[in-house]
């Protein structure tokens, strides 16, 4: 697969473009900040227009390997898989999860090539932000290496990390089976089926972000932000043995769990069956998760019954919002501690 096929990449919040599509002044505004440049090996400080122009010229033929990154405000960073994974983000773009979002996308490009080997990356001692990002992306520490830090005008004993194809594949694949159901990752092709039942008043008003009607663009965005990446923050489709999609389960990055089910399948034990299997997988897959939270609107007592069957205990009440409701409405909050899970993991 030619790298140029990936010259433009769109993620839920970002667009990755060839370096030739950037204004050098915008590059300088981001990477020219010392707080950014000090963590990068080949970037000088001060960094000026001539440096940016030279970088763009040197990487003009690297479309699909080297990108600048834009959000809805403009250029916010750069990323590459040229020999190893490297990236930078403007100071004002820190803390928004952009590095993980862009990193996931370009790592997929790298391993889409069946001949691509392990991917290398690393960070300087003290760069805890990059450490956190790279660990989330699946990299593991393999040792140290000495690199020349141009902005610091010195050599640095840097941490080296590696991501193997086997680890990458394990972080992209998941399937959970029960007696009557299969839970599997959502696909873009699921959008119409999700729209059919998720965009109904009976279902949408019990969820936070669904609307009536639920537009094609919104459904596809919801799917795009649901991808399984081996860490909390994903949704799976609930399917029948024939492959028919009847609902979803989800684990949020905040360790909250949720589900929705096509109205036609209510009252048949599918929600309890799907969630029981989903919870068991969470406990096994994520040993660091010590508790799970959930809630339901007070006018949806059936969901409360499901949560109690699963071992959740009520912790309080409050108000919750839904895009399919005109006003905030009373909800009931639940928690399940790992130590109380049944069967005990």
Residue 28: its pLDDT value, please?
98
**Percentage of the chain with pLDDT > 70?**
98
User: Residue 166 carries which DSSP code?
Assistant: H
Interatomic CA distance for residues 167 and 107, integer angstroms:
12
Residue 5: its pLDDT value, please?
83
Helices (H), 4-97: 24-31, 34-37, 49-58
Residue 317: its pLDDT value, please?
98
What pairs with residue 334 in β-bridges? 294, 314
- DSSP β-ladder status, 15-18 and 66-71: antiparallel
Residue 2: its pLDDT value, please?
52
Range 29-46 average pLDDT: 96
The dihedral region occupied by 282, where left means phi > 0, alpha psi between -120 and 50, and beta the remainder, is alpha
How would residue 343 be classed by pLDDT, with cut points 50, 70 and 90? low
Interatomic CA distance for residues 57 and 18, integer angstroms:
11
Neighbours of 182 (CB within 10 A): 18
Residue 167: its pLDDT value, please?
98
Residue 345: its pLDDT value, please?
44
- What values do phi and psi take at 312, rounded to 5? -65, 145
Range 227-234 average pLDDT: 97
Neighbours of 126 (CB within 10 A): 11
pLDDT higher than threshold 90 for residue 1: no
3-class SS shares of the chain: helix, strand, coil, % to 5: 35, 30, 40
Among the listed residues 212, 186, 187, the one whose alpha carbon sits nearest the alpha carbon of residue 201: 212
SS3 42: coil
Residues 6+ positions from 209 with CB-CB distance below 8 Å: 222, 322, 323
**Statement: the pTM of the whole predicted model exceeds 0.75:** yes
Range 33-38 average pLDDT: 97
The dihedral region occupied by 230, where left means phi > 0, alpha psi between -120 and 50, and beta the remainder, is left
pLDDT higher than threshold 90 for residue 320: yes
**Taking all residues of the chain, what is their mean pLDDT, rounded to a whole number?**
96
- Asked whether the beta carbons of 226 and 277 are under 8 A apart, the reply is no
Interatomic CA distance for residues 237 and 262, integer angstroms:
11
Range 155-162 average pLDDT: 96
CA dihedral over 219, 222, 228, 234, signed as positive or negative: negative
Interatomic CA distance for residues 331 and 320, integer angstroms:
6
Q: 163-197: per-residue pLDDT in tens?
A: 999 999 999 999 999 999 999 999 999 999 999 99
Interatomic CA distance for residues 205 and 199, integer angstroms:
9
Residue 3: its pLDDT value, please?
56
pLDDT higher than threshold 50 for residue 205: yes
Q: Residue 273: which H helix or E strand, with range?
A: helix 270-285
Least confident of 104-108, 149-153, 329-333, 340-344: 340-344
Q: 69-89: per-residue pLDDT in tens?
A: 999 999 999 999 988 999 999
């Amino acid at each position: 697969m030619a790298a140029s096929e990936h010259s433009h990449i769109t993620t839920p919040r970002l667009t990755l473009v060839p370096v030739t599509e950037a204004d050098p002044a915008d590059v300088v505004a981001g990477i020219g900040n010392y707080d950014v440049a000090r963590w990068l090996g080949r970037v000088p400080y001060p960094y000026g227009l001539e440096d940016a122009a030279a970088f763009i010229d040197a990487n003009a033929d690297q479309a699909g390997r080297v990108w600048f990154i834009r959000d809805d405000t403009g250029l916010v960073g750069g990323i590459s898989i040229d020999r190893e994974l490297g990236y930078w983000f403007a100071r004002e773009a820190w803390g928004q999860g952009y590095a993980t979002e862009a990193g996931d996308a370009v790592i997929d490009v790298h391993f889409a090539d069946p001949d691509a080997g392990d991917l290398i990356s690393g960070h300087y001692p003290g760069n805890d932000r990059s450490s956190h990002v790279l660990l989330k992306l699946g990299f593991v520490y393999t040792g140290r290496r000495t690199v020349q830090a141009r902005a610091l005008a010195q050599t640095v004993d840097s941490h080296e990390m590696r991501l193997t194809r086997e680890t990458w594949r394990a972080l992209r694949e998941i399937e959970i089976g029960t007696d009557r159901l299969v839970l599997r990752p959502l696909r873009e092709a699921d959008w119409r089926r999700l729209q059919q039942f998720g965009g109904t008043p009976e279902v949408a008003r019990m969820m936070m972000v669904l609307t009536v009607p639920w537009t094609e663009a919104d459904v596809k965005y919801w799917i795009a932000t649901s991808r399984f990446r081996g860490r909390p923050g994903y949704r799976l489709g609930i399917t029948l043995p024939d492959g028919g999609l009847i609902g979803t389960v989800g684990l949020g990055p905040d360790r909250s769990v949720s589900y929705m089910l096509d109205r036609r399948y209510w009252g048949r034990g599918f929600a309890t069956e799907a969630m029981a299997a989903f919870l068991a997988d969470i406990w096994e897959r994520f040993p660091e998760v010590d508790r799970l939270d959930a809630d339901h609107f007070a006018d949806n007592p059936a969901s409360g019954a499901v949560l109690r069957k699963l071992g959740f205990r009520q912790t309080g009440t409050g108000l919750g919002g839904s895009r399919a409701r005109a006003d905030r409405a009373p909800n009931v909050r639940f928690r399940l501690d790992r130590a109380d899970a049944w069967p005990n993991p």
